Structure 1
């Protein structure tokens, strides 16, 4: 099936997103495990990704759990330290596709405020032909609505879209819409898929 549009997820595809690793380094694994068991930090982040105010959502959560106030506030105050490092091979693939003239979009669960921080720190996030950011869209993957919104925006037939994401539930939702998909488990596998689709040469995908 010909590919008319390639869509990248961002977290754990172009930028590593492992908050637990950050907290392990800063407060130690035992305290991190206790905090994550008590506070639904990923649920808090989903609220930001749906369009909630970056600072307000996190600081309100911190006040709800005063015993973890300083640690929860780090999710806002030191957010860029949670969202790093970039996955360099994936960034090269993004740029190689664009150099080939292949349309490349982003579809990502990202807050309005967090994406502003990320796009200021990582210049490649400003290189997409279009960016579909959940915070601006008011819905997060894997809700079918977000995929429908992307289709309406890009004007591509679903079967002409090739989408990569690191989460199986997001991939399954895209497949249900008729998209071509690749479950991202590392940049080399994604590179191999792009070569197999004829979108890049082996040299371009290196």
Structure 2
């Protein structure tokens, strides 16, 4: 069985609020900014391959009064990545030690992903990583899962996909993959053990 990992909030903890709690005085201000300025939809444009410089420029033109905080999303981006999720990394290492074929599909800006690879060398364990920013397609679009399968000669039924986003899990199931909704390392270990993978 091939095991296909998501990266953000499965193997590394990503939380943009962590950065903005250093910038704004109250949780309400943080939530307003994330909900109205540096939104998930705006961030997905970077995951689809738009450069952070272009994204920041466009958004700062719309919200000039927040230009400094918007720019921080790029320049201080690593403050949104709080570290490895140790229990998940341990599972990854155990799977690797058993010779399990490991792959990844991630919604990630291509430039930030290259930086993240340097920071977290364990992400180099994958035989192939499909990065949305490189491919200009994001989960849960069926095309991104099929790209991994076609590029590596894999059958969907021979893959189990792990993601913290339920819609991305459903996307994998829609192309014929088995899938696990990640809620934490402990539950993941139980599920993979039940499948005979650990």
The interval holding the TM-score normalised by the smaller chain is over 0.9
Return the match for 1:21 from 18, 21, 27. Answer: 18
Give me the whole-angstrom Cα distance separating, in 2, the residues matched to 1:161 and 1:107. Answer: 12
Unaligned runs of 5+ in 1: 201-206
Q: Structure 1, residues 140-174: CA drift from partner, whole Å, max 9, x if none?
A: 00111111111111211111100000001000111
Unaligned runs of 5+ in 2: none
Which position in structure 2 is the counterpart of 1:85?
Answer: 83
Which position in structure 1 is the counterpart of 2:118?
Answer: 120
TM-score, normalised relative to structure 1? 0.90
Q: Structure 1 residue 40: deviation in Å?
A: 4.7
> Does the C-alpha gap of structure 1 residues 40 and 54 become closer, same or farther in structure 2, counting only changes over 3 Å?
closer
Which position in structure 2 is the counterpart of 1:168?
Answer: 166
Give me the whole-angstrom Cα distance separating, in 2, the residues matched to 1:79 and 1:40. Answer: 12
The total of aligned residue pairs comes to 197
1:171 alignment partner, SS class: helix
Give me the whole-angstrom Cα distance separating, in 1, the residues matched to 2:67 and 2:193. Answer: 48
Aligned Cα root-mean-square deviation (Å): 1.3
Over 6 Å off, 4+ runs = none
Q: Structure 1 residue 85: deviation in Å?
A: 1.8
Q: Structure 1 residue 60: deviation in Å?
A: 2.7
Please say if residues 106 and 128 of structure 1, whose CA atoms lie closer than 8 Å, have aligned partners that are also in contact.
Answer: yes
1:92 alignment partner, SS class: helix
